[in-house]
Amino acid sequence: MDGESFLTTYSSVEWPSIQRTTDYWDAWQRSQVKAQSLYTDWADHPTVFREMMRHAFGNPDTDFFEQIHQSFLGLEKAHALSLCCGDGGFERQLLERSIFAKITGLEISPERIAHGQAFLSQLPPGQAPLLDFFQQDVNLGQFGHAQFDVVFAKAALHHIQDLESALKGIEQCLRPGGVLITIDFFGPSRFQWTHEQLDACNWFWANRVPPHLRNDEEGQLLPPITRPSVESMIAMDPSEAARSGELHSLLCEQFTVLTDAPLGGTVLNLLLYGDRVNRFDLADPIHNQVLEEAVAFEHQLIAERRLQSDFRLMVLQRKPG
Ligand SMILES: C[S@@+](CC[C@H](N)C(=O)[O-])C[C@H]1O[C@@H](n2cnc3c(N)ncnc32)[C@H](O)[C@@H]1O
């Protein structure tokens, strides 16, 4: 990476769309600094996370760090490129836990980068991890040539419209033997939820979630989960789930798949959407029981192939030649 700002270069994605995404994530970063809420999405809830790990890897006590570390020996010396890295919070943990040695992060939002850099600058001299940030549009796919051991993409590729350029760029920037590790959303593009997943989610919410958790502060029932319009999705953040529904097949076509672990989320992501996840108190056994049952319900529907897994952990390698 030469550190040049993306601002001087245009990708195939139109500039107003990139600018809207940047504004959206700048504002999101500001809201997080003020927010009091405990969890921002379904998998942040510890009970859900443990159940997800149990179903995906047979061990409720594992986490993504351990999974990556155990599966791919030697990565602790790796220089990784992290796409759409946000404020680098997860990347800091990857470095602190010696999963990788050094990370270069690419991110579109200057406020997210500034937040990450401010955090690093507060650390005592010599204790900051080897993490640096560049503001760049990942749609460009300009990541250099054969210079990274790993490309890491967490909640990243589902924000990319020009997947062809980005995937080509990933292939080009990996050293021989290098891997792409992605933990991402592979569900319907623009959140156009399938009938089956909406039915499953709303059935579970109405029949298995206790009534007091389904009411708002005024005692009114919360509305059922519905499919947003594509227009409203684009108006909110043009990058959101831009082509997520195509991602799995494109990756499988272009790379050799080393790991493909379904993580679920097809029901849970909708069931706990927005602030609903914060209604479930970790200290309340009934709340935890409902969540455990929800994960088991979703897992069974996925195992029976009545639903696909919207979230996955994948490890991929360049195809030979
Ligand atoms: C869901 S967040 C994930 C952040 C981080 N990887 C994580 O897991 O916490 C998606 C991030 O992608 C960034 N993003 C969206 N479109 C992008 C683009 N075209 N190029 C670079 N970053 C982008 C957003 O600003 C946001 O920080």
Residue 199 CA, ligand 1 centroid: distance in Å: 30
The CATH class, in words, for 6-318 is alpha beta
Compute the residue count for the chain.
Answer: 321
Starting at the edge strand found earlier in the chain, the sheet holding 311-318 runs 131-135, 102-107, 79-83, 148-154, 174-185, 311-318, 255-264
pLDDT at 55: 96
Chunk the chain into consecutive blocks of 10 residues (it has 321) and report each block's average pLDDT, rounded to whole numbers. Answer: 45 82 94 78 97 97 94 87 98 95 97 96 88 96 96 98 97 95 98 98 96 87 93 96 98 97 98 93 96 98 97 93 70
- Determine which residue's CA is closest to atom 6 belonging to ligand 1: 85
Name the residue of 239, 243, 247 whose CB sits within 8 Å of the most ligand 1 atoms, as the mutation to test its pocket.
Answer: 239
- Determine which residue's CA is closest to atom 19 belonging to ligand 1: 137
Judge contact between 98 and 76, C-beta under 8 A. yes
pLDDT at 16: 81
Q: Tokens for 320?
A: 């030979």
Name the residue of 11, 31, 84, 108 whose CB sits within 8 Å of the most ligand 1 atoms, as the mutation to test its pocket.
Answer: 84
pLDDT at 11: 64
Helix 195-208 / helix 285-303 crossing angle, nearest 10 deg: 150
Atom of ligand 1 nearest to the CA of 29: 27
Q: Where are the domains of the chain?
A: 6-318
Q: Tokens for 304?
A: 């029976």
Q: Tokens for 164?
A: 């062809």
pTM (global) more than 0.85: yes
Residue 87 CA, ligand 1 centroid: distance in Å: 9
